[in-house]
Structure 1
């Protein structure tokens, strides 16, 4: 059934995009329709991340999308956001791969690496030939990375790294890891090939969320790397936090992609499913659900676009990113859960996307800063007082 045009863009937000932005979005959307939608239920059910799509995403120009030079696409922040939106409409796990690869691992090298490191790694990562991961969080240091126990010590010209990381996306399929460790100089970052002796990545299973993705425990047992592995410009937590903000920005967009997919799925189903002699869409209670969904979907998408324009203008602040991440993920989960109710019992199967999206978003609301962390960031911004401790 053809949906009314208002279902796709009630506020005419497309009019706020350039022709180039719309064309790139459509290119990503077409790829998701062709490669992700036919396969995602199986990948999710089997707990499989399809590593074969990495080079395809490289050719699509979404790996390190907004990074410039070194073979990176050099797209605008809004273009990257639109790509994140479409990728997460397919599945959060796919958008998460792009985020870990580009916003975290590649961004760390691009922002804080040496010229030699950039030349060595970024072109192949942008092409999807090499997969990276980002080792910051630990078993006892999630929301408080300042308490990390992983440490690195000098041994001649080398560094020896020991410790543990947890919930590290892609670690078991990655060829390199950006590892953050405490040193006598403070927090420093290191590029660690995952083939290095002493580096072990173990996928975390079973999971109820992000099943078409991979998150791991990492053990670092006296991992020896040369001095050239250190990111020379990365000093203190400011360095990894700058990468986290890049990832959080993508989430602001991506969450709305999951919400849109769930809303449109529920709308289609409600128009086709007959109950008591008429379509579900013809009942007031169903229309109330759909109306509430579209209100928050349009508001969240407009917020994402505004933050994208701010970022392209060099005006985006960490507090604004926190507002966007907190609000859009929270509302996206509510939309996906409400959309599931339109399907009745059918909604708990993988034949339909809303509950899969809702389950995934439970992870999204937790990583790159929990709801509580972003609430406190906003609380400090509006009061001038820190309540973290």
Structure 2
């Protein structure tokens, strides 16, 4: 018997790698002679770096970058097992988890550190980059990142701007003549699960701003600043970001990478599955076990588990889900993709489930497959 274990992170309790190992221990108790392949997954957000490096037997390189508020912190760059592809995870440098709740300030937060990580990858000689976008604390349109890569932003008086969310509306001109020339010979793939455009009611600020500290009264002026940046960019680069699908990812960072670095935006889970060679295992696998913190209707909107299910369906491989919780109202549509749906939530306090998540997941996995005589 051959089994693939491919969970996403159980946010707040287990990384994807930790969840995979817990599931593996549960499967081993039931099928002691099974060949088990652990391929933790992610959809472009936090955890993408670990998933890609782990699944390809890659390695990490560390450098010092600025966090969203300009403080120096260590950050990791991933290198895939092919030795040629570098992975930049925006959350490493510009992530919301780097700030305390009271520090969240989209007017001041910048993606400058992510630009430093990209520059570090270039310095190390990598010319193929996967950039995972998700979990950002920023709403600067990716201008801080561009600033770190050599783009200069000026106000109406010709003064050089230090970029953040609050500076977008002050941009009078953009000079990209000093953009790191190595980017012109670099293939950049943006991995993201976000399909939102840059501006408007479904744009970066309106949809994702509130979780980053954007108050209701700030949404309109911040969105106007983002629109202004898009206007200036369109005049300079001839690329319209305003309504570009996916441009709103990570506070507009995806749009900046498209316009100034000729990046390609792709489904995060599809990028991850291709990079880790997921499909090559499917012709001989008996079943797949996956999971996440919460499986609900959002799972069907291009999230990691759906990507696994779509690929598995092509090979007629059954996929079982064991998640922290499963939305009861979504069982029917989820059932069209997944063979089984189980949850860890058994009425115990959430705090207890979170603290003991690894052992509870192991036990649940063992219990489920002991009951299913496969």
TM-score, with length taken from structure 2? 0.30
Q: Name the structure with the higher helix share.
A: 1
